[in-house]
Structure 1
Amino acid sequence: MAVTISVLGRVRLRGQEIPSARQRRLVAALVLHRGSDVSSGRLAEYIWGEQQPADPSAALHTLVSRVRTMLPDTAIIESLRGSYRLVAPTGMIDLDRVLHWRAAIAELNTSEQPAAIDEFLALYTGEPFVDIDDIDAIAAREQALELRVGLLEARAESAILAGNVDAAIITLREVLIERPDRESSAALLMETLYRSGRQPEALAVYATLRDHLLNEFGVDPTPRLSELEVAILRHDLTPTAPPADAPRSIRRATMPHRANSFVGRGHDVDGLAALLTRVRFVTVLGPGGIGKTSLASEVARKVEGVGTRVVVAELADLAEGTDLSAAVAGRIEAPTQATESPQDALAHHLASAPTLLYLDNCEHLLESVADLIATLLGASPTLRILATSREPIGTEGEHRWVIHGLPIADAEQLFADRAGAARAEAESLRSDARVRLLCERLDGVPLALELAASALAYTSLDEIISGLDNRFELLNRNRRSAPDRHQSLEATLDWSYQRLQPFEQ
């Protein structure tokens, strides 16, 4: 669908600029709040400011009637009691197109990406939402400009991959003229110049940014940029990594590949994926070892498979009192600037494209996780959050999905599947009645089943079953590749125990 409503510059409809300033303000205000009801009074403030007409409602009705005749056929302004709402198909508004640029580019081949990036940049014809000026418009303007900078960085990275270093340098210098505090662009420009044999120019970029930050904000560059300067001074920059299929700024944050198969819980996967299309925050709940992480990871892969950006932050190793915003920003590699807080940097990054943020193991940081989630959801209307926890997080809007042990049939399949890594004849276990008994005794708990399956490497199935009266001794063999808390049943309980207050212990 072609873009026929433009707000990334002066308002245009069907490619033509609207001559009337009042009509432009009306369209801009409706696009700003697209899909939502906007009261007549609020629209009147956008259009006339302090100089209201004698009858604002009548004047607004006349103005809306005129604009309706100018809109594309498939876009409508709905009249409600005391309010109006713009309804437009997906892709008709330029801002909506740009909001999804990362996902769109990530689906293309490397050779196709530069032209697509230029098409997105061409949607910008001036300052976004230039026709209106309130706090909502300013926030939307900043978001749109941030997206444009991201596109310019992606253009530079594409040029580097294509071997057109001069074009990349020109683009990055353009970014730094507009945003002299943009450390990610400065870092990429410094590295590009240095690798082109232009060390003095690379160091000059750092000096210019450092002076700007000190003069304007009284702060130094981030340690990461300072370390880059030192590496360039010492000619100690690490070799360039092999080119990837997409530049860093447009590569989707993919979920890691599973080390083994995912067994059972198909209903949970489909149900959670469907729920995340309707609500913005879901917590998968259950006791330790029940399979929360495996389930949530599978759901995240399913969501990512339809084009949504997915970013993952594992929280299990974080202690209470940790700066959670900074930790999550670091773990999802959110670009940070010396002039903004980690929380602002994280919020800006997550708002730059429709995103699923997956927070794993939240139970020991409930209060700080709840505060962070509330802040992030409020800052980005396209953000959805999937969390795992042994307790509800308690944030407003939380939807809870409780899981229990696997059904016996799935438990048997899981045990036989994992036993295949321990002994060659594991396939015969699928029809072994002793496996059903074992699964029943272990209540279908996935971690217990996996530990029991790994025990087949050094003991027999009969010994495992007879030893269930002393489960910790039998199932305490470490799985070296698993997280510490999942290396044994005892470790799972110990991880929880160590996070209790003394009186709770």
Structure 2
Amino acid sequence: MRYLILGVTEARDETGAPLPLGGARLRALLAALALRAGGPAAAPVADLVDEVWGDDPPRDAPAALQALVSRLRRALGSRDSVRADPAGGYRLAAAREDVDLHRFTRLAALGAEQLAAPAADPAAAAATLREALSLWRGPALADLPEPARTSHAAPAEARRTRAARDRVEADLRSGATAPAALLPEIEALIHEHPYDEDLRAQQLRALRAAGRPADALAAYERTRRDLAEGLGTDPGPRLRALHAELLQAPAPAPAPAPPVPPQPRGNLRPRLTSFVGREPELAALAGDLARSRLVTLTGPGGSGKTRLAEHAAADQPGSGWLVELARLDHPAAVPGAVLSALGLRESSLVAREKTSTADPADLLVEHCAHRSLLLVLDNCEHVIGAAAELAERLLTHCPGVRILATSREPLGVPGEFLRPVEPLPPPTAHRLFADRAASARPGFTPADDPAAVAEICARLDGLPLAIELAAARLRLLTPRQIADRLDDR
């Protein structure tokens, strides 16, 4: 059995198949037990009650916990999976290596040791740290209620940041990754930790190694200003030494890149309307894509997953390809849909496909094996199994491929990072309504009937698609008439 708590809590059997865990309380209990797996002591009853129910424990908490433990045993398929300790409390029958958090901790420490060793092997350290970071699928201990989640997750998140920084350092030293390719990830980490001087030093070194000394000097100046304004301090000795090196001598010219055949820029469509209200999500998604090769946007229909994915893909370097899966009638058609989106149906691969029994997925792997591209797999939920299988195959065999998926549920592929797309908050929803309403009725402003606009956005649960459809009705109706007719399908 494997237990996953770096993201939504999961339990997987020996074949890797997830076990149905039921509700939030059951997942919280499993997360609390897995957190202590392989430790010297059982989890005390009082601690488990706090971490499962938070500030709202049941009246007879020990009895309720015992009943929940029985449900968890049934879900895991064995009474021995959770053992009652004679001294009180409960213990998950699992080794520390069976829990992704503890495996991550071990691998992150090993990678740091490999990097700091006198005879360091940066490439080996980078591989170890990359394996460690791939275990993250979302926020750590996401199913624990507050404040337990924050107190337990904070050390894990800090170790994740250190591991990401160490992996960048290993890549910089090994030279296996082009310095320019590391910059988006470094900048995303700096956005999260603006006063981390080690990250700032990595940024300067990467810019210098990429043959951009002027940009490195400009980055140092931004760092100096940010430290002065935010902390009232000057850059430390390491940053000052790097700055002096940049001033004294130009960086060596980067080695010429091997010639590659020109690649199309993708098939992303130009948008005919403005993109309103998702600026924080776009910034966060840029960091997600820098750290993870598979990012899945989850959320209900109409929440704006597709628009967010398209805009995020358009902001990424390289080619981005949108694969629309909503119209597919059968899961087996998923590889063919990707082929069509990439334009391979009309390429020389077509003849080979017609004259042989080659699997479309094999053709995709062959095409993508030595290319760098971003695939946007849109609306995966009704072909989730086939989309997940293809995504895992491409990520395994095509190191230059990244995938941004949209779905109402996770794909469940190892290394997947989940980014929930929430409904718009009221101020943003009102702004979107006003933007679309101005197109339907020139001169309209929410101030014309603010109460009706607020009611429309609230009753439509802040869903962007619903708000856009409602705003389009302003050609014929007033905001109050629209609000009054929302119950009329």
TM-score tier after normalising by the smaller chain length: 0.3 to 0.5
| Normalised TM-score (structure 2) | 0.46
| Normalised TM-score (structure 1) | 0.44
Larger-Rg structure: 1
